[in-house]
Amino acid sequence: MRLFHVSEEANICKFEPRIPDRDDLDKKIGLVWAIDESRLPNFLTPRNCPRVTYHVGKDTNEIDMKKFFSSPTMTHTVIIESKWFKIMKSTTLYLYEFNTDDFVLQDNIAGYYIAKSIQIPKAIYELNDLFSELINRNVEIRIVDNLWKIADEVKDSTLNWSLCRMGFAQPRL
């Protein structure tokens, strides 16, 4: 297993645990967050880019496979709004890889792992072409005018899904 942190910041030398914003986590314990390699595509966009992402899970049925994927060889999709296309084309991301020893699984579907101690990256990768990064990971990319319809549909599916930064999305139609 490989674990990563994705950032628009270059040259982060160490990751200090931070108090989480989420209400479902203990606000007294600082955490370092990482994402596993299979869910990494969910974060290969500019930080504030709203997106709907989904992938095949153990309970995904054939009906949803046919409805939500354009090809039977695809198992992961990232959907962004058209106004983010140019921003995504010009964004550089830095992928920080961690040793996995201190991390524990926090959310299996999302692929989130957490550590309570300072983490020093063991490698840093610069990603200059985010669309190619997604394509190379066999991720289907969709670009739409508005995310809300597909967001509502995917929430009612058997897919594993994530809605990220929807506060920055176009208003509902």
Residue 128 is encoded by which pair of tokens?
A: 């200059």
pLDDT 10s digits, 69-87: 999 999 999 999 999 999 9
**Residue 25 binned pLDDT confidence (cut-offs 50, 70, 90):** confident
Predicted TM-score (pTM) of this structure? 0.94
Phi-psi region of 11 (alpha: psi -120 to 50; beta: other; left: phi over 0): left
- Tokens representing residue 160 in the block: 């594993």
What pLDDT does residue 24 have?
85
Residue 96 CA, distance from chain mean position: 14
Q: Is residue 44 very low, low, confident or very high in pLDDT (cuts 50, 70, 90)?
A: very high
Torsion over CA: 140, 59, 115, 165 (sign): positive
The CA distance from 101 to 112, in Å, is 15
Condensed to tens digits (0 to 9), the pLDDT of residues 91-141 reads: 999 999 999 999 999 999 899 999 999 999 999 999 999 999 999 999 999
d(CA 173, CA 147): 10
Asked if 157 and 57 count as a contact pair (C-beta separation under 8 A), the reply is no
DSSP 8-state class, residue 170: P
Token pair for 142:
């969709």
Residue 22: pLDDT band (50, 70, 90) is confident
Q: What one-letter code names the amino acid at 49?
A: C
User: What gap in Å lies between CA 65 and CA 28, rounded to an integer?
Assistant: 41
Phi, psi of 43 (to 5 degrees): -115, 10
CA distance 124 to 54: 26
% of the chain residues with pLDDT over 70:
100
Give the type of residue at 72: P
CB 118 within 8 A of CB 25: no
